[in-house]
Structure 1
């Protein structure tokens, strides 16, 4: 089995770069299908139109219907065909970007990704997470290639709500721990190969960047400024985590996140917030040393990531509900089976409750 590392063809990050979008993506097509939320498109539409002034390119802006579901993908495919578009541009957060990638894949078109928040590692990946119309995880759609370009305007990302950046840190927090577990197990990565040294090194750099710059970045954004720490965290959340999870591999944290999507109380939580708690559960499953657990718990508490079930919105613990989470996390084909030891619902159930108790104890000591 070959070692494989994959990444977007080009990654561009800088303040004001959305104003250069025509230069960056102009070679991908001439009739662009630009997908984003209604409010998001209003914020960027004028900048994009100005960038394309003087060209003969056509721009079709379309509002996203909130869920990366099979029905939404089918709706958008029909519109792409109707408009005769030859390039898909996803603008916004994780579900919007995953939908854009899926539409481009099915229509065999290039795709440009323009994240306006740094809340997940979705922008760089050759993967779309498919949900039901009601927001329950359904399946992973693995794509044959990564986006043609990822364009990150840090001036826009830095203006997003702080909670979104913190959620991105939660998603990125899992990258090294999952990648190391999958590599130790000899599991395949998302590219269908084995982990390279480069992928694991990027995953480790992602974690180290979170620990060194995460709290500094949060404080800077709370004061509406974009510092070097903010720039570093945007890169960690987007590029380092994106390449790291995809080319090193996924394991427990994301599977546990998928299980929690079945609990309605968690639907108000962002992806990365649930992944952060899933990381704690994975570390409990691995019987991680207390120094490692304390570092992760301290980081989560410092930036405001969940460390207990109550933090996820689960105020009253229903043991049957938690067992259902555990069973879903252990579903055949999910990434929990990339752990370097056998895992079953009973072990996951125990680890969830132990992680919850550990989080409570840490809060009391703080």
Structure 2
């Protein structure tokens, strides 16, 4: 099997870059449909409009209906066709960005992605997660190419709730450990091949950046300051983790996250918060040295990422619940089987219980 790496064609990050969107966009087309929420338009619509005043590209805004569903994608695809738009721009959170990617794919036009938060590594990916209109997961839409451009305006992202960026760090924490596992097992990555050395290097840089800059970035964001640490963490959460997970592969952490989705008590937690606990559980499965595990748990505690089942929202813990999580995590189609050793519901169940015990110990509970 070939080694494969995929990535967005262009990645731009910096303070105030959204003002230049018109300058960037005119290189891709002349008439853009911009997908945004009503609240998103209030926050940054005027910035975008000002940036297109001297652009050769025209824009029309359309308000997102709230779900990346087939009905919403079909509605927008019909608009693109009827009005003759030759590019799609998504501004906002994950579901808007996934919808924009899907619409652009079906109409074979360029797509520009402008996240307003740094809570996951999805913006750079060649993937859209499709839900029903009611918000229930339906399927993955694997796209033939990554976005033509990803633009991160760090001024805007720094003003988003701090918890969202911290959640992004929890998601990014898994990147290196899952890529390392896929490299060891020879698993097929989301890019459709084996792990490249470049993907491993980016995944390791992602991890090193989080360890060195994560706590500094959180404190700076809480103080309302956009610092070099914040810039580095935004890049780690989005670009390094984005390329790292897609071309490095997924393994235990995300499968364990998926297992926890069977418990309603966890539904209020952000994706990256559950992934952080899933990462600790994967590391318990791997039986990494105690000092390394302690460093990662301490880092999570400093950031406020969950290290216990109670912090995940599970106040009434039972073996029955945890076995359900373990069973779901070990689903035949999930990525837990990319680990370089045999994993069973029983070993995952034990690792979850142990991870919770370690978390309680380091919290002094």
Q: Same fold (TM over 0.5)?
A: yes
- The aligned residue for residue 70 of structure 1 is 70
Change (3 A) 1:302 1:134: farther
- The aligned residue for residue 84 of structure 2 is 84
Change (3 A) 1:265 1:157: same
Distance in 1 between the 2:99 and 2:321 partners? 30
Equivalent pairs, count? 365
**1:64 CA drift (Å):** 2.5
TM alignment of 1:261-300, pairs within 5 A: 261-300=261-300
Change (3 A) 1:135 1:337: farther
Change (3 A) 1:289 1:139: farther
**1:158 CA drift (Å):** 0.9
Matched, 1:240 2:240: yes
- The aligned residue for residue 50 of structure 1 is 50
Residues 107-145 of structure 1: CA deviation (Å, up to 9, x unaligned): 322110101111111111112233444545444322111
Distance in 1 between the 2:110 and 2:32 partners? 10
Residues 207-249 of structure 1: CA deviation (Å, up to 9, x unaligned): 0000000000000010101011001101111111111111111
Query: Is the contact between residue 220 and residue 226 of structure 2 (CA under 8 Å) also seen in structure 1?
Result: yes
Give the root-mean-square deviation of aligned CA atoms.
Answer: 1.7
Of 179-188 and 24-33, the range deviating more from structure 2: 24-33
Query: Is the contact between residue 97 and residue 113 of structure 1 (CA under 8 Å) also seen in structure 2?
Result: yes
**1:62 CA drift (Å):** 2.2
Q: Secondary structure at the match of 2:112?
A: strand
**1:360 CA drift (Å):** 1.1
Q: Secondary structure at the match of 1:306?
A: coil
- The aligned residue for residue 335 of structure 1 is 335
Q: Secondary structure at the match of 1:118?
A: coil
- The aligned residue for residue 103 of structure 1 is 103
Distance in 2 between the 1:49 and 1:343 partners? 52
Query: Is the contact between residue 171 and residue 272 of structure 1 (CA under 8 Å) also seen in structure 2?
Result: yes
Query: Is the contact between residue 121 and residue 172 of structure 1 (CA under 8 Å) also seen in structure 2?
Result: yes
- The aligned residue for residue 154 of structure 2 is 154
Change (3 A) 1:112 1:291: same
Of 233-242 and 283-292, the range deviating more from structure 2: 283-292
TM alignment of 1:188-337, pairs within 5 A: 188-337=188-337
Please, what TM-score do these two structures have when normalized by structure 1? 0.95
Structure 2 gap segments, 5+ residues each: none
Change (3 A) 1:83 1:320: farther
- The aligned residue for residue 13 of structure 1 is 13
Change (3 A) 1:170 1:136: farther
**1:163 CA drift (Å):** 0.5
Query: Is the contact between residue 26 and residue 56 of structure 2 (CA under 8 Å) also seen in structure 1?
Result: no
- The aligned residue for residue 173 of structure 2 is 173
Distance in 1 between the 2:228 and 2:191 partners? 32
Structure 1 gap segments, 5+ residues each: none
**1:352 CA drift (Å):** 1.6
Distance in 2 between the 1:266 and 1:205 partners? 30
Distance in 1 between the 2:276 and 2:35 partners? 28
